[in-house]
Amino acid sequence: MEVLEIIKLIERGFETSSVQFKRRIDHINQLSQEIVAFANTRGGYLIIGVEDNGEVIGLSAAEIRKLNQWIANVSTEIIRPPISPLTEVINIQGKNVLVAEVPKGANIPYYTNEGIAFVKKGSDKRIAPPEEILRMFQRAGKLYADEGIVGNASASCIDEQIFKEFLYHKFYQRSAREAMSVGEFKKLRMDEALEKSGTQASFNTALKNMAFSDGNHLTLAGLLLFGKNPQQHRPMFAVQCISYAGNDISGTSFRDSAPPFEGNLKMLFEQAMAFVKRNLKLVQVEKSFNSLGELEIPQITLEELLVNALVHRDYFINASVKVMMFDNRVEIISPGKIPNSLTIENITHGQSISRNPVLCQNAQFLLPYKGMGSGIPRAIA
């Protein structure tokens, strides 16, 4: 940031989540907490030598030398992982202040030497709770919810019929020389289905090799894709649907509602799609009066958006997908924010970041999508 812009920040006289004033920094641990909080949030400016109200107090040359040394030590020796703030001395009203520009961390979460991760909350800071730290790992690409182990779920929780259907579409259908329908394939014993899919592995080994288990317990991806009853282990990973009479969520009149839909991802998709379709109008698109008509919202749009909500949602958040229908719109609410570095604009141009890589790679063999990041562009086309 240019010097004049920093001076304007000081002259405005109030702090924000990206601008922090400090009269003095008296302890190196205090400094590390401030830098960690900025790095774990959106970055910002720590301006030392200024009161909270913007009054310039100034620093002596000795204080500036000490603070610069502290910042260098904190950034490389105390904060983990290291980060590199930029410092600059600015003269304002005839007094020197030190400005430390802390970049938004690319390797979050950052910790103090006490093992604490701070984040900004308005102009203040707070300790990040465990669930927020998990989301930081996720945004940094260090941790994926769908690869996590579900401790009380084993291979016995797998619906073998849906797993055989997956094998058929992922392996057998693309390579088999003999003609066999998916229905016939699902009648095979599991060892036969695995053999025809090109693997000599046992059922448990196949699950582990494809990242659906760790050899003993299912991963979240394995449970969501193939579980007999995933909600027994993760009750909130359901889909809630409601159709309002009118256009206001605060309305008390409903056209249709249902208990939360449960089951694996394919079951959730099919139940939610059936609910939406039965609550949409059919419109005539041909001149013939006897034509059946088409859904007022194209089915491919609904499919793409619902699949996106199920596959790309944030599974670190213990909440259900919500489908809310109004007279003038359908809202599909997926838990979580847009993944780090993505924007609405680049999503609409087909750019994607895989929040749940195992689901993204494998759900396409059970759900109507291609796994190419093109779902949203197709939905809005």
Domain ranges of the chain: 3-143, 155-232, 239-380
The pTM of the full predicted model, rounded to 2 decimals, is: 0.72
Q: What is the pLDDT of residues 204-224, one digit of tens each?
A: 999 999 999 999 999 999 999
SS3 46: strand
| Distance from C-alpha of 54 to C-alpha of 95, rounded to nearest angstrom | 13
Inter-residue contact 367 to 375 (CB < 8 Å): no
Number of CB atoms found within 10 A of residue 131's CB: 10
* CATH fold of the domain at 239-380: Heat Shock Protein 90 (3.30.565)
| Distance from C-alpha of 213 to C-alpha of 208, rounded to nearest angstrom | 5
- pLDDT value, residue 226: 98
- pLDDT value, residue 177: 59
- pLDDT value, residue 372: 52
Query: Which residues in the chain come in under a pLDDT of 70?
Result: 1, 174-178, 286-291, 339-353, 370-381
- pLDDT value, residue 337: 80
Architecture of the domain delimited by 3-143? 2-Layer Sandwich (3.30)
- pLDDT value, residue 141: 77
- pLDDT value, residue 225: 98
- pLDDT value, residue 215: 93
